[in-house]
Amino acid sequence: MEQRPDIKGMLDVLSLEQKLALLAGESQWRTATIPDFSIPSLKVSDGPSGARGEVFGEGIPAAFLPSGVSLGATWDVDLIKEIGHLLAEECKSKSASVLLAPTICLHRHPLGGRNFEAFSEDPFLTGKLAVAHVQGIQSKGIGATPKHFVANDQETKRFKINARIDARTLREVYLLPFQMAVREADPWCMMTAYNKVNGAHCDASKELLIDIAREEWNWNGVFMSDWGGTTSTVESINNGLDLEMPGPPAKRSLELLQEPLKKGRVDLKRVDESASRILHLLQKADRYNNPRDEPEYCRDMNDSALNTKALLRRAAASGIVMLKNKSNTLPLKADVSKLAVLGPNAERIVAGGGGSSYIKAPYWTSVLDSIKSYYEPAGAQVLHHVGAKVNRFLPTPVPGVAKDPHNGQSGVCLEWHDSHDLTGTVVATTHIDDLYFMGFGDVPPEIGRLTGYSFRARTVLTPKTSGTHKISLAAIGPAKLYLDDELILEQDGDFDKKGPLFFTYGSDEVVTTRNMVAGLSYDFRIEYHSHDRQLQDGLKHLIEPMEDKFQGFRLGYEEVNPSDLPLEAAEIAKRCDAAVIVVGRDKEWETESQDIPCFELPGEQVRLIQQVSTCCKRVIVVVQAGTPVLMDPWIDQADAVLYTWYQGQELGNAVLDIISGQINPSGRLPVTFPRRLEDCPAFSSFPGELLESTYSEGLYIGYRWWDLVGSKPQFPIGFGLSFNSFRLQPESVTSTTLSLTDRVEFSVLVENIGGSDVPGRETVVVWFSQDLSQRLARPVKQICGFSKSSPLNPGEKEVVKIKTDAYAFGMFDPSQGRWVIDAGSSFTVLVGRNAQDATPAWQLEAKEEITWI
């Protein structure tokens, strides 16, 4: 029988030490237990791209979803809600009760390293998608955790940067998506950001956590820190952070709290409030009735309930944006006789950006394999060439080149020693697929600690070609690389030699060369020692959050190839009816912990596009990236361009669905694509200097900036082509008067006027514009609603309904400390597809002053 615990009664009998124990994690992914009162733990899981489970990198496989920006490009709240349902079931397969998602920070600048995780540059669009995401997850009994609260919009100096944001911009732009999620979906948790806002760390900001979220928004969920993001012992408790993660506590141990408690510096009322919220979270998750912690498993991707594989494929295709389609280059029919599939991202798996959101999927699809599976059975010859180098570092060995000597599988074996110097017997042997190994506290149980251990990593590498090949080694701790027992590279683990790898915690790579013969086998061995920096007194103050938890190494390998790769690819394309060129970035260019180093397509990719475009009559460029890239001048030479973002495990099949015309592209840009970085609103202040980043563009983020200065970007927000053409006709509005209690519904007739036999969908965006002579400045226009049509055949019509409310039209008045719509305010409502295609349709008026907190 289900029991409802008496939480107030629990608080009355718990000791102060037990209450404080609830305010910090017990382990990497679990909250604390209080056995004396049968208070169980609760497990959480990353993240935005799927429920990874507790092992970072090489754990139990999980569904790898399209990236957040791709979901943003769907503009489809119903689909996002379905994704939430799927994520909840994925969480259950990992025995987790709370998912650390969605990421709802904004795309402030195109080089933001973590933009790919987040939906959009627009706060309203982000907020509505966040609401659907949270509702979908929590409707299945799993908690959601919108993050990172707030203004975590860059990765450079992310633990120390201070974001200077004026009051209106903070409320109307960066806090707004969180406020919408709280008002409409009531998330069980929210995660604080690493950075400071206006001088205070987010995890200890009374203004953000108590004054705004608790008192103004009346939210009573759990505020947890980002991992390692609790910056203080006393202030974080007193100012509203409920839960330090991960455990064991670094700032909230009883040892550290002893002296502040004696001096009366800890607010015991806050302790009770936070402990109560943790106990209520356990109740929401039904942990009192079901405290089991089952082994993780991988769900059946063909399950009948959600049909995961089909949902992932549909979601991925729905986010793909067609930016160009000259002379109906697409779709590419199956009767093509010879097709070139070129580019560095065609054959390899580029499923997502790097960092905590990356997942080991149960299967992968590549663009090359998916295209072959469709066109070759129809009689087409599919030719492939890599076309260009793109790696930021030496690539890790491709699958099959390096094999575990213990089992013959692709990858490497790790032989673990319960000592720091590789002495004694091997206590555990494990296998990993990826030679970029990063452990996050997940050592074998035979080791059971994060310090004082060592391992040997062994793999047998068989070159495909003969020549002088490049080999590299990077590591977090001390490591040596041996080739057939010859020491060839070494990393000393020096703290001062940190580079861009391993969340910037590890070294840069060191490179050497060796003559190797095709077909021969070479034994590679890495001897690795845990870095143990947290034990070195002279380094403790220099260690970044979580640095002590990460260990790992990276083996790079590249076979010599003196060829002109773009020219060779062009020679192949010359003989083909069409060429699909797959370019972009990957998880080492776009990743948590650092911002993107270049706006251009890296490596030789631009020359590849240009060379192929001169000799092939149909050139389709597929771009895989989480943010815009520089497109001048190559976009003028391509016949068709698809922006596919990062699509998780179904990336290959989703691209095929669009290219072949099985699905009509309906993705629309959730961000503005600039022509140059210099045109961007945050160009002058990103990523800041001297640990300060001033948000000098204010309210004018994204498209609002281009509206303000009157210039045209490469592509506006909302842009996206279809195989069809659509006509939009505003029809009616339910009311022309705004009030806080009544919603307004706009009706727009959408007609598919032809162009393809494949059914198509159109997104209708509603904007509002207010007289710029108002007492508070406002953007030229702002999004206040959007909706997506059903799939329509040529000639079909549908009335699309877009609902909005007064909250979408408000402005925050710092002088009053509240949101307001002034009496007599008049708004022009515009309807269109994108920011450059919005025409006036209705007038709305606020006859009386409307205010809210």
Tell me what pLDDT residue 2 has.
61
Which residues lie below 8 Å from residue 343, measured CB to CB, with a gap of 6+?
Answer: 386, 387, 388, 569, 580, 581, 582, 583, 605, 608, 622
Task: Transcribe 235-261 into DSSP letters.
Answer: HHHHTT--BB-SSS-SS--HHHHHHHH
If you count them, how many residues does the chain have?
853
**Structure tokens, 755:** 């162009």
Tell me what pLDDT residue 258 has.
97
Q: Given 46, 226, 242, 532, which residue is catalytic?
A: 226
pLDDT, averaged across the chain: 96
CA distance 490 to 529: 12
Residue 539's SS3 state is: coil
CA distances from 458 to 17, 394, 485, 523, 559 (A): 47, 19, 11, 7, 20
pLDDT in tens, 127-171: 999 999 999 999 999 999 999 999 999 999 999 999 999 999 999
CA distance 788 to 783: 15
Which of 122-126, 183-187, 444-448, 790-794 shows the lowest mean pLDDT across its residues? 444-448
Cβ–Cβ < 8 Å for 252, 233: yes
Cβ–Cβ < 8 Å for 340, 375: no
CA distance 192 to 203: 6
Model confidence at 546: pLDDT above 60: yes
Tell me what pLDDT residue 398 has.
86
Long-range pairs, 821-826, Cβ under 8 A, ≥24: 821/738, 821/846, 821/849, 821/850, 821/851, 822/774, 822/775, 822/846, 822/849, 823/847, 823/848, 823/849, 825/738, 825/770, 825/774, 826/770, 826/771
Model confidence at 383: pLDDT above 80: yes
Stretch 270-293: mean pLDDT, rounded? 97
What domains lie within the chain, and their CATH numbers? 7-284 (3.20.20.300), 308-388+574-709 (3.40.50.1700), 402-558 (2.60.120.260), 725-852 (2.60.40.10)
Model confidence at 309: pLDDT above 70: yes
pLDDT in tens, 323-336: 999 999 999 998 89
pLDDT in tens, 63-105: 999 999 999 999 999 999 999 999 999 999 999 999 999 999 9
The reply to whether omega before 597 is within 30° of 0 (cis) is no
Residue 538 pLDDT grade (very low, low, confident, very high; cuts 50, 70, 90): confident
Tell me what pLDDT residue 304 has.
75
Among residues of the chain, what percentage have pLDDT more than 90?
Answer: 92
CA distances from 301 to 41, 57, 65, 81 (A): 29, 20, 12, 18
Cβ–Cβ < 8 Å for 179, 257: no
The reply to whether omega before 445 is within 30° of 0 (cis) is no
CA distance 530 to 537: 16
Residue 497 pLDDT grade (very low, low, confident, very high; cuts 50, 70, 90): confident
Tell me what pLDDT residue 151 has.
98
CA distance 148 to 383: 44
Residue whose C-alpha is closest to residue 282's, from 97, 435, 70: 97
| CA-based end-to-end distance of the chain | 41
pLDDT in tens, 699-714: 999 999 999 999 999 9
Q: Look up residue 207 and give its DSSP letter.
A: I
Q: What ranges make up the beta strands (E) of 462-573?
A: 467-475, 479-483, 486-491, 510-516, 522-529, 550-558
What's the maximum distance between 2 C-alpha atoms anywhere in the chain?
83
Within 13 Å, how many C-alpha atoms sit on residue 61's CB side? 14
**Structure tokens, 443:** 């050592």
CA distances from 348 to 141, 365, 398 (A): 37, 9, 8
Residue 495 pLDDT grade (very low, low, confident, very high; cuts 50, 70, 90): confident
CA distance 413 to 528: 13
pLDDT in tens, 652-699: 999 999 999 999 999 999 999 999 999 999 999 999 999 999 999 999
Model confidence at 1: pLDDT above 60: no
Q: Is 226 a catalytic residue?
A: yes
pLDDT in tens, 622-656: 999 999 999 999 999 999 999 999 999 999 999 99
In the block, which residue shows the tokens 């016949």?
Answer: 639
Residue whose C-alpha is closest to residue 602's, from 584, 616, 615, 588: 584
The radius of gyration of the chain from alpha carbons, rounded to an integer in Å, stands at 27
Cβ–Cβ < 8 Å for 384, 447: no
Stretch 12-27: mean pLDDT, rounded? 97
Residue 449 pLDDT grade (very low, low, confident, very high; cuts 50, 70, 90): confident
Model confidence at 339: pLDDT above 70: yes
Stretch 739-752: mean pLDDT, rounded? 97
Tell me what pLDDT residue 400 has.
87
Greater pLDDT, 536 or 213:
213
Tell me what pLDDT residue 236 has.
98
Model confidence at 534: pLDDT above 90: no
Q: What angle do CA 497, 502, 504 make, to 5 degrees?
A: 50
CA distance 847 to 824: 5
Cβ–Cβ < 8 Å for 296, 95: yes
Tell me what pLDDT residue 303 has.
83
Tell me what pLDDT residue 773 has.
63
pLDDT in tens, 573-592: 999 999 999 999 999 999 99
Stretch 382-405: mean pLDDT, rounded? 94
Q: Look up residue 542 and give its DSSP letter.
A: G
pLDDT in tens, 757-785: 999 999 999 999 997 667 899 999 999 99
CA distance 526 to 473: 9
